[in-house]
């Protein structure tokens, strides 16, 4: 076994061939693998990852199984309930809430997805990140109206009832806030010790169901001068953004359902715009109108924010597409490695430009790289899970991941990414991020 493991080494410091865990027989009986990752909250670094499967004597185990009945087998279980909830023991899995303006504007802020506690690529609806500029409104779906007007032949007004009679499509897409990963941006000169959810948790993945916006715009009849749309939300922030008509007619959706149920209020109930791969801000929630215009409207939300300052003092306007990015979610900040041994590194990758085609992992701070396995068929502008086996020798190590998308974009080193912008750039940070593994197994966020 040892020599087979050695033969599987593909990069420095114990990274193993991505196919190793697919050869089931190789592992049977010889390697102790995975339990669930430890639960963490952002104040604790106590939780351990326990990958050691307990070894037991089969004979005595089968005797004691007969003699011992767990309490759950002695009384009837709980009765039915109308809407399910996570198991009680999972109650510490919560969104990470930041309210930068405190009581002045408690509804302006973020609630981040706890990526360290999740697996797969679909974010449970109750844990989808929320970014709201002035709280989430309560909207009565029976009274909500959605208007299409401006440079169209025929303005249209939809009730939810009329809208839901249109043919629907379902697509798996991520939404990512332009401010995601600001803890890795050049807003900071020193790395902050927070969980992976707090660094990268302004991204979530869901199956969205709704009506292609192109169908509704076609029905309204676009006038030739129409080149842009303005989308406005029915919240007290009056969030509004200009969107090039090309995107609106391409893959934009008026989303009504999220992972099979009606949108959550946090995500824009009863309807939102969804612009796959574009910065989350443009996917206007609680959508109330779309106006077709000849030019961008230059709303407050796209002039006071969401521009990128360059080193020469000029600002880049309208950076729509989210860059290619990845993050290792396990092991990750706040988790502790449970001694040397064989682990599975697991993480997420995504790109606003299309499909992820490659994720590489380094266990020596970016000197050597190994290709991770992509779990399932990568989808365009959706989260992709990657995994790679790793034999940690117990020495201090620097773990990184680097994703490449089908357009050929690859993540840059943090210093190289930073040098592209003026100091204090926090939007669109898709630089490589580094986890440091200490000898005692502690995982911390570092800048190298």
Neighbouring CB atoms inside 10 A of 217's CB total: 21
* Cβ atoms 446, 413 nearer than 8 A: no
Nearer to ligand MTE, 49 or 273 (CB): 273
Q: How far is the CB of 128 from ligand MTE (least distance, A)?
A: 6
- Whether the CB-CB separation of 72 and 125 falls below 8 Å is answered with no
Contact between 302 and ligand MTE (CB under 6 A)?
no
The footprint of ligand MTE on this chain (CB under 6 A) covers a number of residues equal to 20
| Nearer CB in complex with ligand MTE: 285/402 | 285
- Considering only 133, 144, 247, 358, the residue that binds ligand MTE (CB under 6 A) is 133
- Are residues 33 and 417 in contact, defined by beta-carbon separation less than 8 angstroms? no
With CB under 6 A as the contact rule, which of the stretches 40-48, 128-136, 348-356, 382-390 interacts with ligand MTE? 128-136
x/- contact string, 252-271, with ligand MTE (CB under 6 A)?
--------------xx----
Question: Any bridge partners for residue 346, and if so which?
Answer: 330, 387
Q: Which is nearer to ligand MTE, 37 or 268 (CB)?
A: 268
Does 131 help bind ligand MTE (rule: CB under 6 A)? yes
CA atoms 353, 323, 209, 163: torsion sign: negative
Distant-in-sequence, close-in-space partners of 423: CB < 8 Å, separation ≥ 6: 186
Nearer to Mo ion, 131 or 136 (CB): 131
> Residue 329 binds which entry of Mo ion, ligand MTE, none, with Cβ cut-offs from 5 to 8 Å by kind?
none
Alpha-carbon gap, residue 290 to 219, rounded angstroms? 13
Tokens 């773990």 correspond to: 399
Cα(338)–Cα(100) distance, rounded to whole angstroms?
35
Within residues 282-301, the interface with ligand MTE by CB under 6 A covers: 283-286
Residues engaged in binding Mo ion (CB under 5 A): 131, 177, 280-281
Does 360 bind ligand MTE (CB under 6 A)? Our answer is no
Can residue 177 be called a binding residue for ligand MTE (CB under 6 A)? yes
* Per-residue DSSP letter, 296: -
Name the one range near ligand MTE by CB under 6 A: 13-21, 233-241, 341-349, 364-372. Answer: 233-241
Residue 212 or 280: the one with the smaller Cβ distance to Mo ion is 280
Residue nearest ligand MTE by beta-carbon distance? 233
Burial 329-359 (b: 16+ CB within 10 A, else e): bbbbbbbbbbeebbbbbbbbbbbbbbbbbbb
Sequence-distant (≥ 6) Cβ neighbours of residue 350 within 8 angstroms: 174, 176, 203, 205, 322, 324, 325, 326, 356, 381, 382, 383, 384, 403
| Closer residue to ligand MTE in complex, CB, 131/330 | 131
* Residue 137: CB minimum distance to ligand MTE, A: 8
| Site of interaction with ligand MTE (CB under 6 A) | 128-133, 175, 177, 233, 235, 237, 239, 266-267, 280-281, 283-286
């Amino acid at each position: 076994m040892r020599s087979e493991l050695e033969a599987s080494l593909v990069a420095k410091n114990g990274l193993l061939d991505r196919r190793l865990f697919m050869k089931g027989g190789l592992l049977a009986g010889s390697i102790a693998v995975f339990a669930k990752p430890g639960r963490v909250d952002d104040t604790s670094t106590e939780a351990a990852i326990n990958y050691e499967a307990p070894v037991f004597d089969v004979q005595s185990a089968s005797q004691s199984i007969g003699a011992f009945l767990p309490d759950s087998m002695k009384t009837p279980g709980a009765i039915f309930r109308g809407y399910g909830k996570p198991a009680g023991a999972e109650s510490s899995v919560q969104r990470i809430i930041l309210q930068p303006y405190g009581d002045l504007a408690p509804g302006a802020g973020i609630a981040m997805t706890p990526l360290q506690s999740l697996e797969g690529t679909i974010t449970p609806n109750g844990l989808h990140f929320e970014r709201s500029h002035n709280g989430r409104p309560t909207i009565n779906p029976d009274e909500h109206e959605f208007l299409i007007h401006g440079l169209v032949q025929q303005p249209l007004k939809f009730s939810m009832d009329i809208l839901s009679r249109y043919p629907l499509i379902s697509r798996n897409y991520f939404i990512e806030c332009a401010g995601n990963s600001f803890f890795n941006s050049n807003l900071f000169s020193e790395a902050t010790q927070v969980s992976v959810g707090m660094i990268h948790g302004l991204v979530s993945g869901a199956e969205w169901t709704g009506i292609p916006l192109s169908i509704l715009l076609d029905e309204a009849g676009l006038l030739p001068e129409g080149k842009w749309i303005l989308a406005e939300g029915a919240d007290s922030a009056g969030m509004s953004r200009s969107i090039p008509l090309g995107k609106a007619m391409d893959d934009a959706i008026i989303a009504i359902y999220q992972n099979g149920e009606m949108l959550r209020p946090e995500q824009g109930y009863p309807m939102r715009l969804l612009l796959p791969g574009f910065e989350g801000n443009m996917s206007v929630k609680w959508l109330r109108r779309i106006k077709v215009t000849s030019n961008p409207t230059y709303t407050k939300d796209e002039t006071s924010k969401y521009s990128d300052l360059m080193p020469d003092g000029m600002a880049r306007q309208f950076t729509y597409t989210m860059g290619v990015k990845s993050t290792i979610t396990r092991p990750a900040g706040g988790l502790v490695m449970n001694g040397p041994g064989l682990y599975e590194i697991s993480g997420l990758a995504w790109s606003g430009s299309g499909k992820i085609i490659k994720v590489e992992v380094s266990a020596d701070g970016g000197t050597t790289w190994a290709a991770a396995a992509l779990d399932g068929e990568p989808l365009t502008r959706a989260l992709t899970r990657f995994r790679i086996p790793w034999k940690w020798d117990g020495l201090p190590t620097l773990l990184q991941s680097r994703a490449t998308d089908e357009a050929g974009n690859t993540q840059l080193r943090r210093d190289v990414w930073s040098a592209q912008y003026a100091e204090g750039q926090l939007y669109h940070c898709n630089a490589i991020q580094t986890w440091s593994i200490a000898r005692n197994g502690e995982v911390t966020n570092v800048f190298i």
